[in-house]
Amino acid sequence: MTPPSSCYVKILGREIHWMDWGPQDGPVVVAWHGLARTGRDMDELAAHFAAKGFRVVCPDTIGRGLSQWSPAPDDEYQLSFYARLAEAFCDALKLDRIHWVGTSMGGAIGTVCASGLTVPRMKSRIASLTLNDNAPQLAQSAIDRIRAYAGNPPAFDTVAELEAFFRTVYKPYGWLSDAQWLRLTETSTRRLPDGRVTPHYDPSMVRQFTAHENDYLIWPHWDAIAAPVLLLRGVDSDLVRPAVIDEMRGRGPGAAGRLQVIEVPGCGHAPALNVDSHLAPIEAFVRSAGI
């Protein structure tokens, strides 16, 4: 398999980094990471699909990974701007029809895109939508937990200490090999002026929760989705509540019979998408949706 390419593009005045996997002429999967993460979280998913002939593009959201930090955090760290970035990204790469796989925040961005309410052209582009532990309404207690650690990233003297921190914070991801934990750490690290290491992202991205308090309450977008949807929920998730899934079944794609829900054992928020039991149902779903 051809090694992935590390790429950059300037869209909406901001430089965005992404990893590009697989054949350029294959059916396209856009894999979008979670709130405080990077596109490198999708390495296993991307390798899996690329080996099956898919092209997989894994962006770093603005303010994360190798993408530019926003000079206007209150305006740009919100779902509507992320959706506009996604549209401009697809325009720049000439991606006319895609399968969207989104973890947590990446799922919310996909929901906003697939609805067409904010970025109308994206509705017809999205052939299928996979939500990895995300829903149009999230548990407030979990949002408060995420906001508490994401808004105040710790700093450590060594990368080993940062890895230990990540292993604790992201324990709900489920099983990761030692090599995967190390990669997660090394792709999530930046060094501060004082020499210590800290998570890679712009701490201001957490202002999404203060400047846009109900940004993740997106039922109108859910109701407008025409594409089939797969929801993977970590059995121990504190973010996606069973009552919300029940409501999803009765609205939008759920009411139309286009929602499939799979409970993922051994995980909370959110499954790491790094083992066959996570990846096989996504592949089956994507193939069933066609292109």
pLDDT at 144 over 90: no
- Helix, strand, coil distribution of the chain in percent, nearest 5: 40, 20, 40
Q: What is the span of the domain harbouring residue 276?
A: 5-289
Mean of the pLDDT values across residues 98-124? 98
pLDDT at 159 over 80: yes
What does the pLDDT read at residue 151? 78
pLDDT digits (tens, 9 = 90+) for 171-224: 999 999 999 999 999 999 999 999 999 999 999 999 999 899 899 999 999 999
Question: In three state form, how does the secondary structure of 216-271 look?
Answer: CCCHHHHHCCCCCEEEEEECCCCCCCHHHHHHHHCCHHHHCCCEEEEEECCCCCCC
C-beta of residue 121 within 8 angstroms of C-beta of residue 276:
no
pLDDT digits (tens, 9 = 90+) for 226-261: 999 999 999 999 999 999 999 999 999 999 999 999
* pTM attached to this predicted model: 0.97
**How high is the mean pLDDT of the chain?**
96
Give the CATH number of the domain where residue 122 resides: 3.40.50.1820
∠ CA 174-180-186, nearest 5°, is 125
Percent of the residues in the chain that have a pLDDT greater than 70, as a whole number: 100
How many domains does the chain contain in total? 1
What is the token pair recorded at 139?
A: 């548990």
